[in-house]
Amino acid sequence: MLQLILILAALGQLPTLLAQKQQWRPAPSSTASVNPQQQRPLLIDDEVHFNQTLNSILVPRVVGSQGHQQVLQFLVQSLTNLGFQTELDEFRQRVPVLGELQFTNVIGYINPTAQNFLTLACHYDSKYFPNDPNFVGATDSAVPCAILLNTAKTLQPFLKKQFLNRSDLGLMLVFFDGEEAFKDWTNADSVYGARHLASKLAKTRSVLSGTNQSIRNIDRIEVLVLLDLIGAPNAKFSSFHQNTHGLHTSLVQIEQSLRKAGQLQGNGKMFLSLPSGGQVDDDHRPFLEENVPVLHLIATPFPDVWHTPKDNAEHLHWPSIRNFVKVFRSFVYQYIRLHTEPVNLRYQRG
């Protein structure tokens, strides 16, 4: 999976895409979790849940395998238990090497009729290696899947209360299927699930409640936050997309605040404030093509264990995972809490 495409200076060379309309950035004073004295129960870790969740996902789960079916059922059950309305996006497709396979994207909604969505995503399939049937893809992407479910779990009381009486925003969790290439990474042999879901959301429309306005479902995604390759030591997360740079900056600020408050382990900075100057191909590709704003949280350089048998539980770096979980939870909390009007980060056609 995932070629690193270095598009040097590319961000400045997209003549049809102009700067963002609006930048979203929470005021530093509103960082809810900086003061341990004021820390609310909803921002407290639940490592038991995290470990149990990760254990359930950390099995070989190549599309079409028994482990894949098992993890798919686990995701649906977990989302249901957490109060999400779940939806399966199923399709069959012929792929290199393995032939025709059944793919299933898993989508969980809170507040499914909301005008717009904060969308958090990762892929749950593991890569097929003919010589390594035991490959479990711990960083790729079992840990990101566990992070999404754990975020929903630890924020559950807040989410329940928040979404009781609002129509501006909903939360959407997406577990993409078939991100990995079966042979060599190309546009055709990769991101099978993401391509199917993006196309489906672009073709279907919803009428927003209280209006006569019908909009494409894909245009209801305010931002697609895509997690990938998380769990190795010294991970660095750069800002890859100009229109979500403000959101990335808020992650930098949250990390700073939590570190200052003594809530993070170690001193290595995770979120880098400078734009990366390139992009990494991943599940967001078909969404970018539909002008969906993307916040890509992927470690670059890739973990040393990437696509090797060592990408397993034994090589995970727990302080890094704990730090990421804390920053990410606080980010999701703030996005929802501070959201008062639609956030339009889409590139405006000039």
Among 1, 169, 172, 325, binds Zn ion (CB under 5 A): 1
SS3 16: coil
Q: Which stretch binds Zn ion (CB under 5 A): 56-64, 140-148, 170-178, 333-341?
A: 140-148
Shortest Cβ 180–Zn ion spacing (Å): 5
The DSSP H or E segment spanning 199 is helix 192-203
Shortest Cβ 280–Zn ion spacing (Å): 11
Active site (catalytic) residues: 179, 228
SS3 96: coil
Beta-ladder partners of 17: 349
Shortest Cβ 302–Zn ion spacing (Å): 9
Return the number of the residue (166 or 307) whose C-beta is nearest Zn ion: 307
Q: Which of residues 37-56 bind Zn ion (CB under 5 A)?
A: none
17 near 294, Cβ under 8 Å?
no
Shortest Cβ 112–Zn ion spacing (Å): 30
SS3 71: helix
One character per residue 286-325, x = contact with Zn ion (rule: CB under 5 A): ----------------------------------------
Among 60, 74, 82, 140, binds Zn ion (CB under 5 A): 140
Greatest alpha-carbon pair distance for the chain in Å reads 57
Distances (CA, A) of 144 to 7, 43, 57, 116, 345: 26, 18, 10, 23, 24
Which of 270, 180, 184 is CA-nearest to residue 230?
270
Return the number of the residue (184 or 341) whose C-beta is nearest Zn ion: 184
Return the number of the residue (190 or 238) whose C-beta is nearest Zn ion: 190
Find where tokens 């009007």 sit: 341
Return the number of the residue (306 or 324) whose C-beta is nearest Zn ion: 306
Burial of 185 (0-12, 13-18, 19+ CB in 10 A): middle
One character per residue 120-139, x = contact with Zn ion (rule: CB under 5 A): -------x------------
Q: Which residues bind Zn ion (CB under 5 A)?
A: 1, 127, 140
